[in-house]
Structure 1
Amino acid sequence: MDWASVAGLVLAIAGIFVGHTLDGGRFASLVQPAAFAIVVVGTGGAVLLQSERRAFLRGLRMLRWVFVPPRGEREKLSREIALWSLSARRDGLLSLEQYMGTRDQFIQKGLRLVIDGIQPDKLRNLLEHEINGYEFAQRQAARIWESAAGYAPTIGILGAVLGLIHVMENLSDPSRLGSGIAVAFVSTVYGVGLANLFFYPVGIKLKAIVADKVSQYEILTEVFHDIASGDHSRVVDERVASLLARH
């Protein structure tokens, strides 16, 4: 669990409500289901319209990474790299077959290319294409949250206009004016608040997580190239040091 993310979200929400209360407002006045539905559902629809279905669903699944990030495995990976290098130099490239049980598809592909004796530069080129495809797909998914941050304030203004229309339709009934005005202003609060306190920070954090994974794959690409080239173990050790230095 990433407690910094949890604390950040709690502080952001608490700041709004505490400030509202200190200014004499009531908590209940900020709880408007109609305004929330307009902003959240409207924003979700706009993002879905601009996105591919797969990217949209992947982006939703990635939300959990903000609070439960993918486990950092750099130290474990560094140990595995050392084993690959040792095994390849001592027993030949075919001995790497025993390490194919990993669940990471990129590592599986890299090991398979090395075992199959693919020419090192060709191997690097193939893995770089794999990284580009992975990065593009993941960034497209993470971008839905930044898109939501762009749409939410405008949808909030739309909710405010709808609330004012409701007010104008009920000028003859003062008892219904308060709810219409509340929806009008709270919609704007929800739109701007969700955009700047949730959607945009989530998008930025997800892109940082993706960038970190891509950096690991880039180092692994060089490791597989070095092993396939039969480079000295010292070269591989430097790759491992680079991997740990970015931790």
Structure 2
Amino acid sequence: MDFATFIGIGGGFGVLVIAIFMEGSKLSQFMDLLATNVVIGGALTTTMARFTLGGFMAAFTAGLKAVTFNHHVSARDMIEKIAELADVMRKQGPLGLEQVEIHDEMLAKGMRMVADGFDLAVIRESLERERDLQLERLEDAHKLFKFLGDAAPGMGMVGTIIGLISMFSHMDDPKKIGPGMAVALLTTLYGAVLANVVALPIADKLSIKSTEEGINMTLVIDGVLMIRENKSPAVIRDMLLAYLPQKHRAAMQEAA
């Protein structure tokens, strides 16, 4: 579970609630069904219009899953695991790889292909296709939440106009002026909150995650191919050190 997502979004809403109470207002004053319908419903439907229905549901689900559950393995740990598998390959042969527990799905798939004797080109093509498709799914999810973040303030402005029209059309009734102005302001608030507290942070996180996933999966592909070529664990570790920041390389070499 990625606690940063929950802490960030939950903390953002927490700050808003505290600000409301510090002003001596009631939380119920900031709840309005019309504003919710216009901003959230409008933003979701206008975003959905940019995708097919299946594409929208797949991207939305993939995005929430990616930012909620953190399955990322550090490059350092991945290099150590690949070196361990290379050692097993050297000592026990391809069949020995089947006895090693591997948690990363892509690395496990690569080791199964090595153990089954697949050709080097076939392994490369299969793993690169899997990497590209996964990155494409993350990119679709990033676009969805980016579109949602862009649409929310616009729908908030639409709600503001609706509220102002309602207010001006009831200028002869002072009791209806206040509620109309409240709706006008709340829709702007809802649009800003949906965009800046929820949608855009998730979009940026998906962009970062896509970059990290791409680097990690490329590392796995390189490691699997070198194991298939039966390179020594030391050589594989040295060649994969390029994926680590410079400050971490010396420490890993000393540990090795």
Q: TM-score, normalised by structure 1?
A: 0.82
1:90 corresponds to which residue?
91
Matches of 1:56 and 1:41 in 2, distance apart?
14
Matches of 1:142 and 1:42 in 2, distance apart?
19
Deviations 1:105-160 (CA, angstroms, capped at 9, x unpaired): 42343123323433434532432222111101122123211110011111111111
Number of equivalences: 246
Task: Please report how far the alpha carbon of residue 63 of structure 1 lies from its aligned counterpart in structure 2 after TM superposition.
Answer: 2.2
2:40 corresponds to which residue?
40
1:159 corresponds to which residue?
159
1:129 corresponds to which residue?
129
1:147 corresponds to which residue?
147
Q: CA RMSD in A?
A: 3.1
2:254 corresponds to which residue?
none
Structure 1: 5+ residue runs without aligned partners?
none
1:192 corresponds to which residue?
192
Structure 2: 5+ residue runs without aligned partners?
249-256
Contact 1:55 / 1:141 at 8 angstroms: preserved in 2?
no
Contact 1:226 / 1:235 at 8 angstroms: preserved in 2?
no
Matches of 2:65 and 2:116 in 1, distance apart?
37
Are residues 233 and 64 of structure 1, via their aligned partners in 2, closer, same or farther at CA, if it must alter by over 3 Å? closer
Task: Please report how far the alpha carbon of residue 45 of structure 1 lies from its aligned counterpart in structure 2 after TM superposition.
Answer: 0.8
Deviations 1:66-122 (CA, angstroms, capped at 9, x unpaired): 3543364767645542342122112222332334x7575423431233234334345
Task: Please report how far the alpha carbon of residue 180 of structure 1 lies from its aligned counterpart in structure 2 after TM superposition.
Answer: 1.6
1:63 aligns with 2:68: no
Matches of 1:233 and 1:80 in 2, distance apart?
10
Q: Give 3-state SS (helix, strand or coil) of 2:118's partner.
A: coil
1:9 aligns with 2:9: yes
Task: Please report how far the alpha carbon of residue 234 of structure 1 lies from its aligned counterpart in structure 2 after TM superposition.
Answer: 1.1
